[in-house]
Amino acid sequence: RSVPYSQWWREREREKEREKEREREIERERARQHSKKMDQASKEEKLEALERTIQEIEALQAIYGDDDDDDTSSKITICSQSEYNKAQHIIDTENKDNEHIPTLEIEIKLQHEHDQNTLFQSLRFVLPPGYPAYTTAIPSLSSSSSGTLKLTKAAQEYTTCSLTTKSKELMGVEALLELVQYAQDILPDVISQFCKIDAPPKEEEDDDNNSEEKQIGRRWIWVHHITNTQRIKDICSEARSHHLSGYIKSGYPGIVLIEGSTKSCNSFVTWIKGNKSRPGGGFGRNWGHHVRGEIDFDFGEMRCFKEEEEKKCFEEVEDLKVLSAHCKNVGLEDEFLKYVLQH
């Protein structure tokens, strides 16, 4: 007996949460082991780890320069100078006073040129007591840009997550220089996958239609059911005539997901909301109450459903699972959940 889709979805979400909890427990156990090693380390071993940290920071200062150096586009900053001074004092006195070893924090600012755009990155590293021998650096990233290149939140989250994973792999060794290099190595992929380039500034004489043509849109249309064969064919034909890509999910419920220029999306919605009694019209005003998702983004951002050459990629599917899988493959899982399952 087949499982209802809503039940399958809930079980799938529960399994994902269980997997995340298992991963969190592994991380907690790793942290406990690191803490145990740190507690068991001798005073000399803790001092040696701190000395390695200071030496690594000094090496990075020699490579990237500091805030007083105007000759370099990259700079390193000690975020808490008082803690850094305390760490140096502990080393100089061999910690005769048994002071608590401080947590250090540094920030490295980098500048990149990409297609006539300037990208600024600030890599921040928290260095807990025991780094690098007994624990790992904790990285985070903030970015900005000038020109038409626009950074997304997803780009920063992806980079931070990748750096965190890489940091764990480098447990036991001085990792900061390699982490900085790794951030630079993955930057082209990050830009291609998660960043967008704005279209050139619009000229003042551009009208609303031209503005719509320079934007990409996506529309989620929900309806109780779509079972009429001719109606399905008409929807597919109309979408393809507007060079829209996406899917129609027939049956119960009915879903129409379209993507293309904002102008084409709006024209399609106007058509489908039209008077079904008139030639060339749509399917009645009631459809207008089911346009659940309207998303517009800049022309430079990649479409999720691409239109292949000589093929208009608007297809019919008969199962919500299939539509869910297509959406997940292109990163639209959250939209699917919001505009379909939470209707």
Q: Decide if pLDDT at 338 tops 60.
A: yes
Q: Residue 125 carries which side chain, given as an amino acid letter?
A: F
User: Which residue, chain included where needed, has tokens 């048994």?
Assistant: 98
Tokens of 322: 């299939």
Confidence band, pLDDT 50/70/90 cuts, at residue 285: low
For residue 81, pLDDT over 80 is answered with yes
Q: What pLDDT is stored for residue 197 in this prediction? A: 56
Q: What is the pLDDT of residue 330?
A: 81
pTM of the model: 0.49
pLDDT score at 139: 92
The reported pLDDT for the residue numbered 84 is 94
Strand partners, 76: 66, 108
Q: Say whether pLDDT at 87 is over 60.
A: yes
Give the residue from 33, 114, 109 showing the smallest Cα distance to 77: 109
Q: How high is the pLDDT of residue 205?
A: 45
Q: What is the pLDDT of residue 272?
A: 82
Q: Per-residue pLDDT for 188 more than 50?
A: yes
Element (H, E) at 164: helix 153-169
Lowest mean pLDDT among 18-32, 62-76, 87-101: 62-76
Q: Calculate the average pLDDT of the chain.
A: 78
The encoded tokens of residue 115 equal: 């297609």
pLDDT of residue 23: 77
CA distances from 32 to 44, 174, 275 (A): 21, 21, 67
**DSSP letter (8 states) at residue 290:** G
Report DSSP state, residue 304.
S
Q: How far apart (Å, rounded) are the C-alpha atoms in residues 29 and 26? A: 5
Nearest CA among 142, 144, 140, 185 for reference residue 163 = 140
Q: Is residue 166 within 8 Å of 150, Cβ to Cβ?
A: no
Distance separating the N- and C-terminal Cα atoms of the chain: 26
CA dist., res. 139 & res. 90, Å (int)? 25
Segment 144-158 shows an average pLDDT of: 74
Q: For residue 133, which of 160, 107, 171 has the smallest C-alpha distance? A: 171
Instruction: Check pLDDT > 80 for residue 259.
Output: yes
Instruction: Please tell me the distance from the alpha carbon of residue 319 to that of residue 249, in angstroms, as a whole number.
Output: 7
pLDDT band with cut points at 50, 70 and 90 for residue 69: low
